[in-house]
């Protein structure tokens, strides 16, 4: 039995809704097929974008969407993707499968998608192979109200009013696919490029510098020292690999042992150490925490589904993915004083996706269901939830068995999200709640009898949330039991 305790007056800060952000890259079947099918497609679409996908994503209330990459961003030349579709330049997507990119989905289409999803755009600019002028003109094209060469071109292309654009990334993974740069060199380039990322009129840009690859603390040190005063956010990328090894098999998405299950969670929990250590460096240069940590790529990365293009990063999504999503979101809330945004990779058909499509069919993944269950935390106040997790042990190694978070929303409803990482042990909970007597309680749990349960096009509802039994006693104690390998969300109203 785990005893938890919370006083709903013990607020530790706000959970920025942008922690629930998504990422959509020109990679595999994320944009093309997953979102964009073109206006003439037999698949029902609005202005070329799939209605079924948009309807499903709208339910998640996605706060922010990052685009066009990823590695693609530093080879993307935005001018190729505006103007009449049939006249747009074609290019090769060198990073992802060497396939043709016809640029039919460009700036106007992306910003329209954001309107349809009621989400804020986050655009990644090209530092690796683009010019300062090109970046400056892109921001001018999108945001300048009035007359200028770029604003006039935008109007000619059908968009009279400028868009509101807040989040702009100055390069992506410039330590790797974005130019193989040293931090000293990139810090200077960041200073240079970001100077010309201008605020036109009332539009205020939140500038995000390329941050470290997982435990590259030197990168964070140099960036904060040399350019910290010129940025609003600094990114961090960390992927959970079941095998922990980039050089050979990452591990199958669906065919794994209990040992691999455990190791995957051990690897995902390493995120906490990364957050703590990068935050410590950021605190040294920015004690007031003005610069946000932006975890704009995270999630599980497995081997691709057998028979699919290795460059398309198409992977299935099981109960394991759901708990990974739940654990990481709980963690991000804990450090929400520094983490201002996170973007899971990626939204449709790539890596840890919300949605998988096949022709005109669509399935919602277990990760989708967790984002749906957890969305109640968006912009809520984090409550200091006290508990000690028992250990989950495999051989000589152990990790915390339980991950949990609590918050209070603007209607004073209290939300609790809990993951049980153990593959074979259920857990009972008793949570003492001070300062709140609920009139109603709702609980949901996502679990399955097999650890690799996933939804397929033949059986799309193999794993969906179901009601969780929860009781509340007059003395203020909430009790419930979580099955092994599960994610739960409880709301007290
Ligand atoms: O999300 C897939 C790729 O992972 C991105 O393009 C890149 O930034 C990262 O290495």
Q: Mean pLDDT across the stretch 324-346? A: 98
169 lines ligand 1 (CB under 6 A): no
pLDDT digits (tens, 9 = 90+) for 203-233: 999 999 999 999 999 999 999 999 999 999 9
pLDDT of residue 397: 97
172 lines ligand 1 (CB under 6 A): yes
* Annotated active-site residue in 25, 109, 173, 427: 173
Q: Which atom of ligand 1 is nearest to the CA of 25?
A: 6
Residues of the chain with CATH 3.20.20.80: 14-380
Q: Mean pLDDT across the stretch 48-75? A: 98
Q: Which mutation among 94, 235, 297 tests ligand 1's pocket best, with the greatest number of atoms within 8 A of CB?
A: 297
Q: Mean pLDDT across the stretch 11-25? A: 97
pLDDT of residue 404: 98
Confidence band for 327, pLDDT divided at 50, 70 and 90: very high
pLDDT digits (tens, 9 = 90+) for 252-261: 999 999 999 9
Assign domain 2-8+383-492 to a CATH class.
Answer: mainly beta
363 lines ligand 1 (CB under 6 A): no
The interface predicted TM-score (ipTM) is 0.99
What is the distance in A from the centroid of ligand 1 to the CA of 155? Answer: 33
109 lines ligand 1 (CB under 6 A): no
Q: Mean pLDDT across the stretch 95-101? A: 97
70 lines ligand 1 (CB under 6 A): yes
Confidence band for 47, pLDDT divided at 50, 70 and 90: very high
Confidence band for 310, pLDDT divided at 50, 70 and 90: very high
**Mean pLDDT of the chain, nearest integer:** 97
What is the distance in A from the centroid of ligand 1 to the CA of 239? Answer: 9
Q: Which atom of ligand 1 is nearest to the CA of 297?
A: 1
pLDDT of residue 90: 96
pLDDT digits (tens, 9 = 90+) for 172-198: 999 999 999 999 999 999 999 999 999
Q: Mean pLDDT across the stretch 118-146? A: 98
14-380 folds as: TIM Barrel (3.20.20)
Tell whether the torsion through CA atoms of 88, 91, 95 and 98 is positive or negative.
positive
pLDDT of residue 135: 98
pLDDT of residue 477: 95
pLDDT digits (tens, 9 = 90+) for 258-272: 999 999 999 999 999
d(CA 438, CA 463): 29
Confidence band for 13, pLDDT divided at 50, 70 and 90: very high
Q: Mean pLDDT across the stretch 80-109? A: 97
Confidence band for 108, pLDDT divided at 50, 70 and 90: very high
Which pTM was predicted? 0.97
Cis amide prior to 20 (ω within 30 degrees): no
Q: Mean pLDDT across the stretch 146-163? A: 98
Residues of the chain with CATH 2.60.40.1180: 2-8+383-492
For this structure, is 297 an active site residue?
yes
For this structure, is 173 an active site residue?
yes
d(CA 293, CA 276): 11
pLDDT of residue 98: 96
């Amino acid at each position: 039995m785990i005893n938890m305790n919370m006083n709903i007056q013990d607020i530790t800060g706000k959970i920025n809704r942008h922690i629930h952000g998504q990422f959509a890259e020109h990679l595999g079947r994320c944009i093309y097929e997953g979102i964009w099918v073109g206006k003439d497609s037999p698949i029902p679409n609005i202005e070329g974008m799939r209605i079924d996908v948009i309807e499903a994503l709208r339910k998640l209330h996605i706060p922010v969407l990052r685009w066009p990459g990823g590695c693609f961003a530093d080879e993307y030349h935005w001018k190729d993707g505006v103007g009449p579709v049939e006249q747009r330049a074609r290019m090769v997507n060198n990073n992802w499968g060497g396939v043709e990119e016809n640029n039919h989905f460009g700036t106007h289409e992306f910003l329209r998608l954001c309107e349809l999803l009621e989400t804020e755009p986050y655009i990644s600019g090209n530092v690796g192979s683009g010019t300062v002028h090109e970046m400056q003109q892109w921001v001018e094209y999108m945001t300048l109200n009035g007359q200028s060469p770029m604003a006039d071109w935008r109007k000619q292309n059908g968009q009279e009013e400028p868009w509101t654009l807040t989040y702009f990334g100055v390069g992506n993974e410039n330590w790797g696919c974005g130019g193989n740069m040293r931090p000293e060199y990139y810090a200077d380039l960041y200073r240079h490029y970001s100077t010309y990322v201008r605020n036109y009129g009332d539009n205020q840009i939140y500038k995000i510098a390329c941050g470290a690859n997982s435990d590259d603390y030197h990168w964070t040190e140099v960036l904060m020292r040399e350019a910290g005063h010129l940025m609003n956010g600094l990114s961090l990328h960390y992927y959970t690999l079941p095998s922990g090894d980039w050089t050979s098999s990452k591990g199958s998405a669906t065919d794994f042992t209990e040992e691999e299950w455990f190791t995957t969670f051990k690897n995902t929990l390493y995120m906490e150490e990364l957050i703590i250590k990068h935050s410590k460096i950021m605190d040294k240069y920015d004690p007031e925490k003005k610069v946000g940590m932006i975890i704009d790529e995270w999630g599980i990365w497995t081997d691709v589904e057998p028979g699919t293009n290795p460059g398309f990063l198409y992977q299935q999504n099981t109960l394991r993915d759901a708990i990974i999503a739940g654990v990481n979101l709980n963690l991000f809330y804990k450090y929400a004083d520094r983490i201002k945004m996170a973007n899971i990779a990626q939204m449709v058909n790539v890596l840890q996706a919300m949605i998988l499509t096949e022709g005109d069919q669509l399935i919602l993944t277990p990760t989708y269901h967790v984002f749906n269950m957890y969305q109640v935390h968006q912009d809520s106040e984090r409550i200091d939830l006290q508990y000690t997790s028992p250990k989950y042990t495999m051989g000589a190694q152990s990790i915390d068995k339980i991950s949990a978070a609590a918050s209070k929303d603007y209607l004073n409803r209290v939300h609790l999200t809990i993951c049980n990482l153990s593959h074979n042990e259920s857990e009972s909970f008793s949570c003492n709640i001070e300062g709140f007597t609920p009139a109603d309680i709702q609980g949901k749990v996502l679990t399955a009898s097999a650890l690799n349960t996933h939804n397929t096009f033949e059986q799309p509802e193999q794993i969906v949330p179901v009601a969780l039994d929860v009781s509340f006693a007059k003395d203020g104690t909430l009790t419930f039991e979580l099955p092994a390998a599960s994610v739960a969300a409880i709301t007290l109203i």
